[in-house]
């Protein structure tokens, strides 16, 4: 150890040799804490990196006796004003590890001086504060401190998971108040949820980060009182539209909260609560809910969805109002499933007269549930004309009506499929409806038709997925479905090539039939340069993937996971051409309707391509 001390202090020695000596002393010091004192003199060394590593190494004395940590803490405290930001940062962190309480003033000064210019130093100061001070000491230090100092104190309390951080929710600085809210919800610190929820009534409507966390805390706590506060927030006249929808979604889900954190989307399951909590809150505020319905009817829709009968009649005017969003009017119609017959008739009449296909479909769905005889008439008419989505929905609903007239309608549509006169965008719905029919003869005919399709190959089996899909749902499948993992192999950016070709211009270069075949039979047509190549090396190893580039010296392959493998050309003994990198059974991971949506989405991709085919 003595030789290491000499080497570390030798200013004429190479820097790296001195640093290794410092690190070695740190290793030995964990067994013999007295050795750390030998490093204190290096805190005044002329070499900034030697000072930095001495400061860092002194932090390893965390388990030394208190009397041995004291001189180390004094040496480190002197480095908080060092010219080198790196030295200051490492000294602050080590002071936290040593639990050196007298460093409070220096750490706060560091936080104040570096607050606006260096996030790394702010972090180091808060680490030092969190380690060196008790929660009570941190709270007391906030009295008379600057905004920057109080901000550091809040973060430090958060690192300690101390509920005392809630005291800063009353701070005069909006930034400090918001940071306290972030610490409480994001950490999280459930013991401080009541304090966070308490700021909800006074939080400005335009302070979305604080408002979301206060709402989340109120929702997490539950109870009629908290439900009333959330309802009151939803009734604010100055609340932005998206935030209003968010608030009422919390009200709607009150008894069965979403397992997703309403701020970040993290998985935080919450227990179910009695529905009486939120129903009581809505009853108490129902006059205000009705008053707000003219400007924003979402509150009265949610009230009806939660079973408040008084909300039924007011919804009729909202359903008839074309200024209200189609999605909200459709929800209103669904919410009227338990309403009086007179209200159902009026609502359905207005819904069927709407200019929105979504609203008209919702009105027919209401009739299916409450007035099935009338529903069959409306559904047969809708299946014959209107928007594609309406026709598809009408056939789906006909299949669910247990009346002879509905079964006859499905029989007629199946006959059109057999004759080839059924619009292709309706074929999936018709075959599914026929397969679920209570008429055994209709089921038999449907099965026979599918067998005839199967005899013509995979593309014929999925012919019903060529047209009629929803491009937005297809986009979600492409970008978000983990089982399909389309984005892992295909980019939709022009010129960006991953494992497979870019699909930026897929809808421009390929017909729907080609798009469908490339998914259900990827090996039928493989774009040049995207077939799998197997390379047998002289070592006996087999490497397989798509060759991305190759010259006289080496070849670079990309495997199905997107990993690159570089192989020396001289080591290749044998090459074999394989199949498409796209899985042959990919179609088994989605339903025919999902396949239809995916084809629809791909057909919309028409950006200019930068080389490369879009085939698989």
Q: Residue 195: CA atoms inside 13 Å, Cβ hemisphere, count?
A: 22
Using DSSP's 3-state secondary structure scheme, residue 580 falls into strand
Using DSSP's 3-state secondary structure scheme, residue 355 falls into coil
Average pLDDT over residues 75-85: 95
Q: In Å, how far are 123, 401, 437 from 408, measured between CA atoms? A: 72, 11, 10
Instruction: For residue 488, give both structure tokens.
Output: 């892992």
How far apart (Å, rounded) are the C-alpha atoms in residues 533 and 572?
12
DSSP letter at 61?
A: G
Place of tokens 């009486």: 276
How far apart (Å, rounded) are the C-alpha atoms in residues 434 and 428?
10
Choose among 112, 79, 109: nearest CA to 93. 79
- Whether the predicted pLDDT of 80 surpasses 50: yes
Average pLDDT over residues 316-328: 96
How far apart (Å, rounded) are the C-alpha atoms in residues 485 and 549?
24
Q: Does domain 456-527+581-616 have CATH number 1.10.760.10?
A: yes
- Whether the predicted pLDDT of 609 surpasses 60: no
- Whether the predicted pLDDT of 49 surpasses 90: yes
Element (H, E) at 547: strand 542-550
φ, ψ of residue 567 to 5 degrees: the values are -125, 135
How far apart (Å, rounded) are the C-alpha atoms in residues 301 and 234?
13
- Whether the predicted pLDDT of 531 surpasses 80: no
**Residues with Cβ within 8 Å of residue 175, at least 6 apart in sequence:** 147, 151
* Multiple choice CATH, 2-203, 1.25.10.10, 3.40.50.2030, 2.40.30.10, 3.30.1330.30: 1.25.10.10
Model pLDDT for residues 97-112, shown as the tens digit of each residue: 999 999 999 999 999 9
Domain boundaries, the chain: 2-203, 456-527+581-616, 531-580
Q: In Å, how far are 42, 147, 456, 488, 549 from 95, measured between CA atoms? A: 16, 23, 76, 45, 53
pLDDT confidence bin for 581, thresholds 50/70/90: low
Q: Which of 46-50, 82-86, 401-405, 571-575 has the lowest mean pLDDT?
A: 571-575
Cβ contact 525:615 at 8 Å: yes
Question: How far is residue 262 CA from its own chain's centroid?
Answer: 11
How far apart (Å, rounded) are the C-alpha atoms in residues 417 and 431?
8
Angle at 152 between CA 146 and CA 153, to 5 degrees: 85
Model pLDDT for residues 506-530, shown as the tens digit of each residue: 899 889 998 998 888 877 666 666 6
Residue 66 CB neighbours (<10 A): 10
Fold of 531-580: SH3 type barrels. (2.30.30)
pLDDT confidence bin for 614, thresholds 50/70/90: very low
Average pLDDT over residues 462-488: 91
Model pLDDT for residues 222-269, shown as the tens digit of each residue: 999 999 999 999 999 999 999 999 999 999 999 999 999 999 999 999
Place of tokens 């040799």: 17
Residue 418 CB neighbours (<10 A): 16
Average pLDDT over residues 186-194: 97
Angle at 484 between CA 483 and CA 489, to 5 degrees: 125
Place of tokens 């009734």: 235
- Whether the predicted pLDDT of 610 surpasses 60: no
Peptide bond into 188 cis (omega under 30): yes
How far apart (Å, rounded) are the C-alpha atoms in residues 145 and 151?
10
Cβ contact 350:381 at 8 Å: no
HEC-encoded secondary structure of 418-449: HHCCCCHHHHHHHHHHHHCCCCHHHHHHHHHH
Same CATH fold, 456-527+581-616 and 2-203?
A: no
Cβ contact 168:139 at 8 Å: no
φ, ψ of residue 361 to 5 degrees: the values are -65, -40
């Amino acid at each position: 150890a003595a030789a290491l001390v000499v080497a570390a202090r030798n200013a004429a020695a190479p820097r790296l040799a001195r640093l290794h000596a410092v690190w070695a002393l740190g290793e030995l010091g964990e067994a013999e804490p007295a050795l750390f004192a030998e490093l204190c003199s290096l805190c005044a060394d002329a070499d900034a990196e030697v000072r930095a590593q001495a400061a860092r190494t002194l932090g390893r004395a965390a388990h030394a006796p208190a009397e041995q940590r004291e001189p180390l803490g004094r040496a480190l405290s002197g480095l908080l004003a060092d010219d080198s930001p790196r030295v200051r940062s490492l000294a602050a962190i080590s002071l936290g590890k040593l639990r050196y309480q007298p460093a409070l003033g220096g750490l706060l000064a560091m936080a104040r001086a570096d607050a606006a210019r260096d996030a790394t130093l702010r972090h180091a100061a808060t680490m030092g504060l969190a380690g060196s001070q008790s929660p009570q000491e941190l709270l007391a230090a906030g009295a008379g401190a600057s905004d920057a100092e109080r901000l550091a104190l809040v973060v430090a309390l958060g690192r300690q998971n101390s509920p005392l951080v809630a005291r800063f929710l009353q701070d005069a600085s909006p930034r400090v108040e918001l940071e306290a809210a972030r610490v409480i919800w994001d950490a999280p610190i459930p013991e401080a949820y009541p304090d966070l929820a308490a700021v909800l009534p006074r939080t400005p409507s335009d302070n979305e980060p604080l408002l979301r966390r206060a709402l989340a805390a109120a929702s997490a706590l539950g109870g009629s009182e908290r439900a009333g506060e959330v309802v009151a927030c939803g009734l604010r006249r100055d609340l932005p539209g998206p935030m209003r929808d968010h608030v009422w979604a919390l009200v709607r889900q009150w008894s069965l909260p979403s397992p997703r954190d309403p701020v970040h989307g993290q998985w935080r399951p919450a227990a179910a609560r009695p529905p009486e909590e939120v129903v009581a809150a809505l009853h108490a505020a129902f006059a205000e809910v009705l008053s707000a319905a003219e400007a924003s009817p979402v509150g009265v829709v949610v009230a009806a969805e939660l079973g408040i009968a008084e909300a039924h009649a007011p919804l009729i005017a909202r359903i008839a109002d074309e200024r209200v969003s189609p999605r909200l009017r459709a929800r209103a119609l669904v919410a009227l499933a338990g309403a009086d017959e007179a209200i159902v008739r009026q609502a359905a009449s207005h819904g069927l007269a709407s200019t929105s296909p979504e609203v008209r479909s919702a009105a027919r769905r209401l009739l299916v549930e409450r007035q099935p005889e009338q529903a069959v008439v409306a559904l047969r008419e809708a299946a014959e004309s209107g928007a594609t989505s309406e026709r598809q929905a009408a056939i789906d609903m006909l299949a669910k009506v247990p009346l002879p007239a509905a079964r006859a309608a499905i029989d007629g549509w199946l006959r059109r499929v057999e004759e080839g006169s059924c619009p292709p965008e309706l074929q999936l719905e018709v075959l599914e409806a026929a397969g679920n029919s209570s008429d055994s003869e209709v089921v038999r005919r449907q099965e026979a038709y599918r067998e005839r399709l199967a005899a013509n190959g995979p593309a014929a089996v999925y012919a019903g997925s060529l047209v009629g899909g929803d491009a937005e749902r297809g986009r979600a499948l492409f970008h978000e479905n983990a089982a399909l993992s389309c984005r892992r192999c295909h980019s939709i950016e022009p010129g960006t090539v991953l494992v497979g070709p870019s699909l930026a211009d897929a809808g421009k270069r390929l017909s729907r039939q080609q798009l469908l075949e490339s998914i259900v039979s990827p090996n039928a047509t493989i774009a040049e340069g995207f077939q799998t190549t197997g390379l047998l090396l002289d070592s006996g190893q087999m490497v397989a993937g798509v060759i991305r580039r190759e010259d006289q010296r080496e070849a670079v392959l990309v495997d199905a996971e997107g990993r690159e493998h570089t192989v020396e050309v001289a080591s290749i003994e044998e090459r074999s051409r394989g199949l498409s990198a796209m899985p042959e059974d990919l179609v088994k991971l989605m339903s025919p309707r999902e396949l239809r949506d995916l084809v629809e989405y791909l057909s919309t991709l028409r950006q200019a391509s930068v080389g490369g085919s879009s085939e698989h």
